[in-house]
């Protein structure tokens, strides 16, 4: 059953780990959780392109869907753990003292079953993945278990921690907005989840404030 009332999830963060945080939000009066059960979780993973269509199709089989409900509970718990970590560290570079806090993530990653193989860059449609090299590293997993979903999400969190700059992790400045993003703008001046939601709201509020102060002068 789909609990998202037809609302599309937010993939506005320019980073999948932060999109995980944004998978619960209150775009209007009602809070929507896009990973409230296994079915919703698979929809969210598909729209976020975190799993390929073959994996999604396999997990959608009814027997797997029950297991996905259990994984959705674990993903929500991981999401809220990560929210606490991000809230405490966003806006500044991480330092080594954060390592002890990352133990829960490392415990999940230790159970991962990923390995890499050297494969040919030429794809089936004749395109080349890399202009310089004939071969590339291709990630595989030892099992096709639904637990992989949890590893995929833990891995995007690990990528943000190990490969990117936490000083560019920002929360939308909208007063009631809960959405996070990774600021890839040229001058690192991004302030809003989207211009169409919080950016325009802020502009309208500024316009009203200016009008009010002009009126008080006249």
> Residue for token digits 């096709």?
144
User: Does the footprint of Zn ion cover residue 172 (CB under 5 A)?
Assistant: yes
Rounded to an integer, what distance in angstroms lies between the CA atom of residue 76 and that of residue 107?
16
Measured from the CB atom, is 146 or 179 closer to Zn ion? 179
Rounded distance between C-alpha atoms, residue 91 and residue 30, angstroms: 29
Q: Which of 177, 180, 182, 190 binds Zn ion (CB under 5 A)?
A: 177
What is the token pair recorded at 127? 């395109």
- Record the tokens describing residue 85, joined without a space: 């970590």
Q: What is the largest CA-CA distance in the chain?
A: 74
198 binds Zn ion (CB under 5 A): yes
Q: How far is the CB of 177 from Zn ion (least distance, A)?
A: 3
Nearer to Zn ion, 108 or 179 (CB): 179
Q: Which of residues 43-102 bind Zn ion (CB under 5 A)?
A: none
* By the rule CB under 5 A, 25 interacts with Zn ion: no
- Which is closer to Zn ion, CB of 73 or CB of 197? 197
92-100's contacts with Cβ under 8 Å and 24+ in sequence apart are 92/166, 92/167, 93/165, 93/166, 93/167, 94/161, 94/166
Q: Which stretch binds Zn ion (CB under 5 A): 84-92, 127-135, 178-186, 207-215?
A: 178-186
Pick the binder of Zn ion from 27, 104, 112, 174 (CB under 5 A).
174
CA–CA dist 7, 153 (Å, integer)? 22
Count of residues that interact with Zn ion, criterion CB under 5 A = 6
- Residues 91/126, Cβ–Cβ less than 8 Å: no
Shortest distance in whole angstroms from residue 65 CB to Zn ion:
33
Give least dist CB 43 to Zn ion, A: 22
* Residue 64, number of CB atoms within 10 A of its CB: 17
Q: Which stretch binds Zn ion (CB under 5 A): 51-59, 77-85, 95-103, 193-201?
A: 193-201
Q: Does 12 bind Zn ion (CB under 5 A)?
A: no
Q: Rounded to whole angstroms, what are the CA distances from 92 to 60, 85, 98, 157, 166? A: 40, 12, 12, 17, 6
Could you tell me which stretch among 83-91, 105-113, 180-188, 192-200 binds Zn ion (CB under 5 A)? 192-200
Contacts to Zn ion by CB under 5 A: 172, 174, 177, 179, 193, 198
């Amino acid at each position: 059953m789909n609990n998202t009332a037809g609302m599309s999830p937010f993939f506005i963060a320019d980073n999948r780990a932060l999109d995980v945080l944004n998978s619960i939000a209150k775009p209007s009066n009602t809070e929507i959780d896009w990973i409230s059960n296994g079915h919703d979780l698979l929809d969210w993973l598909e729209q976020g392109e975190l799993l390929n269509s073959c994996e999604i199709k396999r997990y959608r089989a009814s027997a797997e869907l029950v297991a996905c409900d259990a994984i959705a509970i674990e993903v929500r718990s991981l999401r809220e753990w990560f929210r606490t970590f991000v809230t405490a560290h966003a806006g500044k570079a991480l330092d080594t003292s954060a390592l002890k806090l990352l133990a829960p993530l490392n415990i999940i990653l230790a159970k991962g079953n990923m390995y890499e193989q050297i494969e040919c860059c030429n794809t089936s449609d004749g395109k080349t993945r890399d202009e310089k090299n004939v071969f590339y590293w291709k990630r595989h997993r030892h099992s096709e278990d639904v637990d992989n979903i949890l590893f995929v999400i833990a891995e995007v969190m690990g990528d943000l921690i190990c490969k990117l700059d936490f000083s560019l992790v920002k929360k939308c400045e909208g007063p009631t907005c809960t959405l996070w993003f990774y600021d890839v703008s040229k001058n690192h001046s991004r302030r809003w989840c989207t211009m169409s939601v919080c950016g325009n709201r802020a502009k309208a509020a500024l316009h009203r404030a200016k009008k009010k102060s002009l009126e008080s002068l006249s």
